[in-house]
Amino acid sequence: MKHARVAYAGSIHGAISENGQLRLNDGRLVSEASVVWLPPVVSGTILALGLNYATHAQELSFEPPTEPLAFLKTYTSLVGHLGHTRHPAGVTHMHYECELAVVIGKTARHVPKHAAYDFIRGYTVANDYAIRDYLENFYRPNLRVKSRDEATPLGPWLVDVADIPNPMNLRLTTAVNGHLKQQGCTKDMLFDIPTLIEYFTSFMTLQPGDLILTGTPEGLFDVKPGDQVVTEIEGIGRLVNTIVEDWRS
């Protein structure tokens, strides 16, 4: 099942996809065009992977890591489907990053790989924009690179874990203004989902709603104000975002 969070008629609602429309949690059936899409989960901890695809590490001139390279992001960095992301003034290297996002379903601590999927609620699509003009170290991106307000579109859907029998073989793509710019497959992750869950929960507790953004394949391209960026993952959804100017940065 596909779940969403939306704003409609002045209130925030949970919703499910039903025949191309949205069934709100109060029973009303509304069109997708009549709502404001919100991130499909309210997350506490957001963990993001750097260089989790060898091809992406290579295009950035780095050797693939030998253990997961992770950083934290803030919830304010998230924005929903059809949202806008600001392009900082003067920036020349703003890159999209299509990523499979794992949503934790129950409290997880010391989870072995063989049990990892039991702790997952589902999956969604993330576009983890990187402002590489501000990058100080590829391995540990600073806050201005990866935790800017509304610079990580997420959604539209949270898809139940049971509906994605093999998340480690899903096609990822990014199109800018209708032109395909990035493509890859989750099977090419250096550290797969069970490995990541075992690794993180070996030293920290994950709670329901927490997110793991699993990294992006190769295919960097600079975006600019006015660009429409569509990140899509097979079986999960199609996430649309528009870049807008921001003279305040």
Q: Could you read off the pLDDT of 101-121 as tens digits, one per residue?
A: 999 999 999 999 999 999 999
230 Cβ contact list (under 8 Å, min separation 6): 174, 175, 176, 238, 239, 240, 241
Q: If pLDDT is split at 50, 70 and 90, which confidence band does 224 have?
A: very high
Domain CATH for 32: 2.30.30.370
**φ, ψ at 201 (rounded to 5°):** -75, -5
CA nearest to 157, candidates 3, 36, 32, 1 = 3
Same domain assignment for residues 52 and 25: no
Same domain assignment for residues 126 and 140: yes
In the chain, how many domains are there? 2
Q: If pLDDT is split at 50, 70 and 90, which confidence band does 248 have?
A: low
How far is Cα 161 from Cα 142, in angstroms, rounded to an integer?
Answer: 32
What pLDDT score was predicted for residue 140?
56
Q: If pLDDT is split at 50, 70 and 90, which confidence band does 136 have?
A: low
The pairing of strands 78-79 and 36-38 is unpaired
Same domain assignment for residues 10 and 91: no
CA nearest to 216, candidates 194, 177, 176, 186 = 186
| Residue 9, SS3 per DSSP | coil
What pLDDT score was predicted for residue 63?
78
Same domain assignment for residues 142 and 187: yes
Read off the pLDDT of residues 149-182 as tens digits, 9 standing for 90 and up: 999 999 999 999 999 999 999 999 999 999 999 9
Read off the pLDDT of residues 170-223 as tens digits, 9 standing for 90 and up: 999 999 999 999 999 999 999 999 999 999 999 999 999 999 999 999 888 899
Q: How many CB atoms lie within 10 A of CB 163?
A: 12
Dihedral angle, C-alpha 133, 58, 210, 131, nearest 10 °: 10
Residue 55's Cα: distance from chain center in Å? Answer: 19
Question: Among residues of the chain, what percentage have pLDDT more than 70?
Answer: 95
Same domain assignment for residues 187 and 113: yes
Checking if the pLDDT of 18 tops 80, the result is: yes
How far is Cα 124 from Cα 136, in angstroms, rounded to an integer?
Answer: 29
Range of the domain at 99: 39-246
What pLDDT score was predicted for residue 208?
98
Checking if the pLDDT of 61 tops 60, the result is: yes
Same domain assignment for residues 98 and 67: yes
Same domain assignment for residues 63 and 107: yes
Q: What is the mean pLDDT of residues 25-34?
A: 98
Same domain assignment for residues 184 and 158: yes
Read off the pLDDT of residues 118-129 as tens digits, 9 standing for 90 and up: 999 999 999 999
Question: Among residues of the chain, what percentage have pLDDT more than 90?
Answer: 82
Checking if the pLDDT of 57 tops 90, the result is: no
Checking if the pLDDT of 29 tops 80, the result is: yes
- Residue whose entry in the numeric block shows the structure tokens 């992750």: 189
Q: Is the pTM of this model over 0.85?
A: yes
Domain CATH for 63: 3.90.850.10
